[in-house]
Copies of this chain bind each other. A is one copy, B any other.
């Protein structure tokens, strides 16, 4: 059985870590970091998450395996944000996002090992304040 660490990651990005812990206290042992990024450049969104994950010890940046797992989780979350078109500025839109990264053992079986979740929540829209709506994305991978 899988524990809902993706829900935990989403509540953290959507509301805040405190609320996530109150609603789901059993995830206290999971590693969590959060950040914010606003850009028309998807590359900058991706590198913001990677930098936050490395600086806060969520992944070991020296190991490609961990970089690879995180990268694909970020891309999957970005698919939700961009909804079928993995582009932002190229198609004249901009994003303002809060993100959370959560790492831990969501399965009760030891052999399932560690997994990573990335959640983005924020706005997407025209590059003009207010001409935007909310957007959300969640990516999950084994690490």
Contacts and interface: CB of A to CB of B under 8 A. Distances in A.
Contacts of A140: 133-135
Contact of A47 (B15, B62, B92, B106): B92
Contacts of A11: 14-15
Contacts of A63: 109, 111-112
Q: How large is the interface on A (under 10, 10 to 19, 20 to 34, 35 or more residues)?
A: 35 or more
Contact of A75 (B4, B85, B119): B85
Q: Is the contact region of chain A dominated by helix, strand, or loop, or is it mixed?
A: mixed
Contact of A2 (B67, B76, B134, B136): B134
Nearest to A109: B63
A113 B65 contact: yes
Contacts of A19: 23
A55 interface: no
Nearest to A121: B7
Contact of A132 (B2, B125, B134): B2
Contacts of A89: 43
A11 to B, nearest CB: 7
Interface string A85-107: 11101111100000000000011
